[in-house]
Structure 1
Amino acid sequence: MAETGRSFPPNITTDEPTVARIYDYGMGGKDNFAVDREAALSLAKIAPEMLDVARENRSFLYRAVRYLAEDMGIRQFIDMGSGMPTELNVHQVAQHFQPEARVVYVDIDPIVLAHGRAILADNANTTVLTADMARSDEILAQEELRDLIDFSEPVGVLYFSVLHCLPDEADPKGALWTMLDAVPSGSHVALSHLISDDVEAGDAFTAGMLALGPWGRVRRPAELRAFLEGLEPVEPGIVDVSEWRPDPDQPPLTPAPAPLQPYLGKASGGKAVWEMGGVLRKP
C-alpha cells in the first residue's frame, strides 16, 4: 500500500505494525505499510520458517472451510480475528460450495473493517465487525451478528492462527468456549495455533512479536489440546496444519513478496515453531 498522498481514518495507525497487516504482507497483499513490512522481515530473521507456516495456515483455511461447507453442509460462519481480506477468504470458499452461506468476520484492527466493508459492499450475506475476540460475550450481543447468524442451526466457528495472539490473562480458552457454548450441537470449530516443543525457539518468536506490540505467546501442544477438551476431532485430528487432509490440487497462493522470498523453504529441515490445528465437532 502506498502511503504517500493517502489519508486514513484517525483510528488507523500507520506508524505501528499490526498482526493483520504483517500477515497481509506475508500473503502477498498490498494493504500494509512500511512499518508492517519491516516487522515481517524482522520476524523472518528470528524464525525463517514462519513465512512457510503462515502460508500453510492459509491453505489449511481453504481445506477446513471447504470441509465444513461441502461435506458438513454448514451455511453460516463466524471468523474470529479474520485479518485483512486477501485470497481464499472464508466467504469465497464457503459461498463457492454453499452459495447462500453467511459469514461474519470479526477483527480488532479498524483497517480490516474499512477494507472488508468496501470489498463486501455487494455481498448481503457477509459483514465485518470491529471487536475484540477476547470479549466473546460482547460479540455475541451485537445485532449485526445476530442478523446473519441463526443460533438454532449449526455454525462454523473459525479461529485461524489467532488464539496465540491472546495472552494468558485474556483467557483464550474462556473466549473460545463462550463462543462455543452459544452455538448448537452439530456446530464445528476450525482452528490453528502457533505451537512449539522447543521452549527456546517458542520464547524467541514470542519475544519478537511482543517487541512489536501486544500479543500472546507460542504455546505447547498439550496446552492447545486442553483448550479443546469436550470436542470431537475430525480425522486426522489435531495435527500440523500442513498434514490436515493435504490436497495438491487446491488453489495456489499468490507468491510471497520479493523481500521475503529468501525465507521460503527454510523449514525444510524441520520447524521449531509450527501451526497445529484441525476441525472439531461440538457434540
Structure 2
Amino acid sequence: MSLSGEYEWAPPGVDPTRPSVARVHDALLGGMENFAADRSVARKLKDTVPEVVDLVWCNRAFIGRVVDFLVREAGIRQIIDLGAGLPTVENTHEVAQFADPRARVVYVDSDPMVEPHARAILNGNQYADAITADVRDVDAVLGHPSLRRLIDPAQPTAILIIGLLHLLPDQDDPHGLVRRYMSALPKDSYLAASNMMASENPKAQALEAMLHVTMGTGYFRDRDSITAYFDGLVLVEPGVVHFPEWHPDERLPGPLATWEHLLLGGVARKP
C-alpha cells in the first residue's frame, strides 16, 4: 500500500507515521491493520529477538486459557479487557462466549483504530463492545456509557491487564493502577495480570532495549514486583508463573525455552 493510501485508510486521530503498540502487535501476528511505521518496528524487534513472534502468540494462548478458566470454572460473566489491542484470533469475547453465549466483554484501548475494527468484528454482538480510552484514567474507563451498558458494577467482574503493564513506567504507578481497578470491583471479582520479566536473560535485555529505542517504552520488572500486583488478592494455583506453566492445555514437554522465561503472570480473586 502506498503512503498516500495509508493516509487515506487511517481513521481520524491516527497518525500512520507514528508506530503504536497495538498495530506493532498486529504486525507481529501477521495482521493487516498496521502501517509501514508499525511494520518497521516489528522487523526490528524480530531482528533483535527472533522469538518475539512466539512471545506474542504465547501471550494470546495465555489469555485464551485465562478467559476459559474465568468463565467455566470461576463463574465470571463480565470481563473488561484493558489494552486489548487490535482483534486477531481467539479474541476474548469469542473464548468467553464459546463457554457462555451471554458472557459480557468490553475491550479498552487508547489506539483509535481498535474500537472501529473491534466493532466490525463484533458485528452487532449485543454482549460485547469496544471503547477508546486511556486505561490510566480508571474513572473514565469504568464510567464510560458503553461499558456501563454491559458491565453491572454490583456483579463480580474480571479485569484483564495482560501485555500492558510492562508499557507503563514507574511514574505511572502501575501497581496503584491495578489497585484502583480492583478496589472498584465487588467481592469475588478477578484480576489477570502480567509483566515482562527483568533478568540477566540476554533476550530480555535486548528486547527491553529495542522497545525503548523503537517505541519509547518497555519496563521489565522482577518477580517480586510482578507478584506485588496481586497483593491483597487470593492467587489461583499455580500462582505467578511463566505463561506456559499456567493451566497448560497439555503436559509441558520439558524445560521452558529461554524466551518463555520473559513472560510472567497470574490470576487472582478478590476476597
Same fold (TM over 0.5): yes
Corresponding residue for residue 94 of structure 1: 96
**Residues 164 and 194, structure 1, Cα contact 8 Å, conserved in 2:** yes
Note closer, same or farther for the CA distance 1:199–1:101 as it changes in structure 2 (3 Å cut): same
Q: Residue 54 of structure 1 corresponds to which residue in structure 2?
A: 56
CA-CA distance at 1:216 after TM superposition:
3.9
Q: Is the 8 A contact 2:158 2:189 kept in 1?
A: yes
Q: Which residue of 2 aligns with 1:119?
A: 121
Aligned residues: 266
Q: Which moved more, 1:221-230 or 1:104-113?
A: 221-230
> In structure 2, what is the equivalent of residue 150 of structure 1?
152
Aligned-residue offset at 1:47: 2.3
Give the Cα separation in 2 of the matches to 1:109 and 1:32.
Answer: 12
Matched, 1:25 2:27: yes
Aligned partners of 2:256 and 2:267: how far apart in 1? 26
Between the two structures, name the one with larger relative contact order (CA 8 Å, sep ≥ 6).
Answer: 1
Alignment of 1:278 onto 2:242: no
2:235 pairs, out of 211, 233, 236, with 233
2:62 is matched by which residue type in structure 1? F
The AA in structure 2 aligned to 1:177 is R
Change in CA separation of 1:245 and 1:268 when aligned onto 2, cut-off 3 Å: closer
Q: Following TM superposition, by how much is the alpha carbon of 1:196 offset from its aligned partner in structure 2, in angstroms? A: 2.4
Q: Counterpart in 1 of 2:188?
A: 186
Contact 2:55 2:260 in 1 (8 A): no
Distance 1:269 1:245, change over 3 A: closer
In 1, Cα distance between equivalents of 2:261 and 2:246:
17
CA separation in 2, counterparts of 1:171 and 1:25? 29
Are the structure 2 counterparts of residues 137 and 63 from structure 1 closer, same or farther at C-alpha, using a change threshold of 3 Å? Answer: same
Deviation string, structure 1 residues 80-134 (Cα, Å, up to 9, x no partner): 0000000110000001101101111000000111211222231111111111111
Q: CA deviation at 1:159?
A: 0.8
- Structure 1 position 3, deviation (Å): 6.1
RMSD: 2.1
How big is the shift at 1:269? 5.1
Instruction: After TM superposition, list the pairs within 5 Å mapping 1:105-254 onto structure 2.
Output: 105-198=107-200, 201-248=203-250
CA distance in 2, matches of 1:268, 1:49: 13
TM-score by length of 2: 0.91
Report the AA paired with residue 51 of structure 1: V
**Cα offsets for 1:196-237 (capped at 9, x unmatched):** 222765443223112223424111111111222111111111
Find the aligned partners of 2:36 and 2:261 in 1 and give their Cα distance: 26
Judge which range, 82-91 or 6-15, deviates more. 6-15
Deviation at 1:155, TM superposition (A): 0.4
Contact 1:134 1:166 in 2 (8 A): no
Structure 2: gaps of 5 or more residues? none
TM-score by length of 1: 0.87
SS at match of 1:271: helix
Alignment deviations for residues 57-94 of structure 1 (CA, whole Å, 9 cap, x no partner): 11011110000011112111000000000011000000
1:8/1:270 Cα in 2 relative to 1: closer, same or farther (>3 Å)? Answer: closer
The amino acid of 1:280's aligned partner reads A
Cα gap change, 1:75/1:269 in structure 2, threshold over 3 Å: closer, same or farther? closer
Q: Say if 2:204 and 2:262, in contact at 8 Å, map to a contact too.
A: no
d(CA) in 1 for partners of 2:257, 2:218: 27
| Structure 2 contact 192–268 (Cα < 8 Å) conserved | yes
**2:84 aligns with one of 82, 85, 90:** 82
Residue 71 of structure 1: aligned partner: 73
Distance 1:16 1:65, change over 3 A: same
CA distance in 2, matches of 1:131, 1:222: 29
Runs of 4+ in 1 over 4 A off after TM superposition: 1-4
- The 1-side partners of 2:248 and 2:166 are apart by 23
Q: Report the counterpart of residue 253 of structure 1 in structure 2.
A: none
- Give the drift of 1:46: 1.9
